[in-house]
Amino acid sequence: MSQRELDNLINSIAQAGHRVSGVERRRFLKSGLLMVGAAASATSVAGASESVGVPPNIPPWSKRLGRGVVSHPYGSPSPHEAHVQRRTVDWLTADRIASISFTPLADLNGIITPSGIVFERYHAGVPEIPPDQHRLMIHGLVKRPIILSMDDLMRFPSQSVIRFLECPANGGMEWRGAQMDKLQFSHGMLACCEWTGVRLATLLEEVGIDANAAWVLAEGADGAHMSRSIPMDKALGDALVVFAQNGEMLRPEQGYPLRLVNPGWEGNTWVKWLRRLEVGDKPWYHREETSKYTDLMADGTSREFTYVQECNSVVTSPCPEKPFRVKGKYMIQGLAWSGRGKIKHVDVSVDGGVSWHQAQFTSQVLPKALTRFALEWDWDGSETLLQSRAIDETGYVQPTYGQLRQARGTNSIYHKNAIHTWKLSPQGIVTNVQIS
């Protein structure tokens, strides 16, 4: 930079309205010249653009103004995180309207899944519902059938809970063998959010249920009118009619403006775009609780109303998306969850299940919520079979593939919660394997 250019710079700043005193001007000139010198030497020494922010260089972003307030009135992640996206697997479904996408678990931290990357499951796409036009009808075996607007609904007492949401088909592609090449696809039909809503019990108290009331049909306002039968114990237990997620109104993908939340139960029962609750004395046996979301056993019989998502866990670092680079100390990290309550322990094996080491919890341990664990480990660079095994507060121990197949065969599709194995190669590459 020549003196003339520097003068031009100073002039331009002055023209832009800045007041530059003589002292400041001289100081500016001096530091400007110093910076020019530093930049030149940095270039000659390092010769690589990636060192631009590394000491002793002063990075360019420290030498200029950044964006002002409300330049992004609703903020987005850094552009450097653009790879953190929901992804789908096209061969799983016929189209993208009745389909599923996966949460990028490898890039998550803590136990809350940001709303924009919670996995999606639609049976007829996302309806666009103006909230002032949305209604919830509650009828059937009730004393006072009612229709609630969103304003009505939000006047009821509400509460907020952090609970995981999991599609019962999570990992369902792997009953017969390892098939998905990434953590996102092997375990990504999973999320955990804070949900805010009205207890379904509160609404049922308000309408008054008949003595023979035993089930509630929940139905969506989407084109599929997705419907599930919910037993009264759950409806009067911890079920919530939810309007908010992670502090803001539900995302359209998650049921805006209203959805059911059945903590610990399969995601399909968390009916989105909830428009109707009918109280009855028997279940309805609708399509998503007969043709789908029933578990076919090896002997040809099927289990119906298999609601609970049993205790499960997976190592999220390392994983195929997060390989190791060098030998040395690592924290093996992962997620554990149980639809029956809190996680009690998580154990990690680095020898294919011969020996196990109790991991530490690195998050809050909440009931029916994702829970973080970690174990310090010194990788010597040899091939390793990594596993995690969760135990919940009921004493249930996450099973092996062998135990699950012994009990159910390989045609079940749903509720696969087997201990998962990653193979870490000497190059640090992680692949999805199943072991004998």
Residues in 178-237 at the binding interface with another protein, rule: CB under 8 A: 178-182, 184, 201, 204-209, 217, 219, 223-225, 227, 236
**Whose Cβ is closer to another protein: residue 305's or residue 377's?**
305
Residues numbered 345-364 forming contacts with another protein, rule: CB under 8 A: 345, 347, 351-358, 364
Residues numbered 12-51 forming contacts with another protein, rule: CB under 8 A: 12, 15-16, 49-50
Phi, psi angle pair for 99, to nearest 5°: -155, -170
The first and second tokens of residue 104, run together, are 């990028």
Phi, psi angle pair for 26, to nearest 5°: -65, -40
In angstroms, the Cα distances linking 189 to 140, 174, 348 are 33, 13, 22
Which residues make Cβ contacts (< 8 Å) with residue 31, sequence separation at least 6?
A: none
Whether residue 79 has a cis bond before it, omega within 30° of 0: no
β-sheet bridge partners, residue 209: 142
Given the rule CB under 8 A, which of 23-31, 253-261, 374-382, 428-436 is the region that contacts another protein? 428-436
**Whose Cβ is closer to another protein: residue 118's or residue 232's?**
232
Answer yes or no whether residue 367 interacts with another protein by CB under 8 A.
Answer: yes
Label residues 122-141 b or e (16+ Cβ within 10 Å = b). bbeebbebeeeebebebebb
Closest among 193, 188, 198, 259 to 228, alpha carbons compared: 259
Give how many residues touch another protein by CB under 8 A. 137
Lay out the site mask for another protein across 141-160 (x = CB under 8 A, - = otherwise): --xxxxxxx--xx-xx--x-
Residues numbered 248-277 forming contacts with another protein, rule: CB under 8 A: 275-276
CB of 70 to another protein, least distance (A): 7
Given the rule CB under 8 A, which of 23-31, 252-260, 299-307, 330-338 is the region that contacts another protein? 299-307
Find out whether 265 and 234 touch, Cβ atoms under 8 Å: yes
Answer yes or no whether residue 177 interacts with another protein by CB under 8 A.
Answer: yes
CB of 416 to another protein, least distance (A): 12
Q: Is 422 helix (H, G, I), strand (E, B) or coil?
A: strand
Answer yes or no whether residue 305 interacts with another protein by CB under 8 A.
Answer: yes
Which residues make Cβ contacts (< 8 Å) with residue 70, sequence separation at least 6?
A: none
Answer yes or no whether residue 80 interacts with another protein by CB under 8 A.
Answer: yes
Tokens 């009331």, residue located: 213
Angle 338-308-389 from CA coordinates, rounded to 5°: 30
CB of 383 to another protein, least distance (A): 10
Residues numbered 379-418 forming contacts with another protein, rule: CB under 8 A: 385, 389, 391, 396-400, 403-404, 406-408, 410-411, 415
Answer yes or no whether residue 88 interacts with another protein by CB under 8 A.
Answer: no
- Which residue among 75, 291, 326, 378 contacts another protein (CB under 8 A)? 291
Find out whether 304 and 286 touch, Cβ atoms under 8 Å: no
- Which residue among 23, 74, 75, 282 contacts another protein (CB under 8 A)? 282
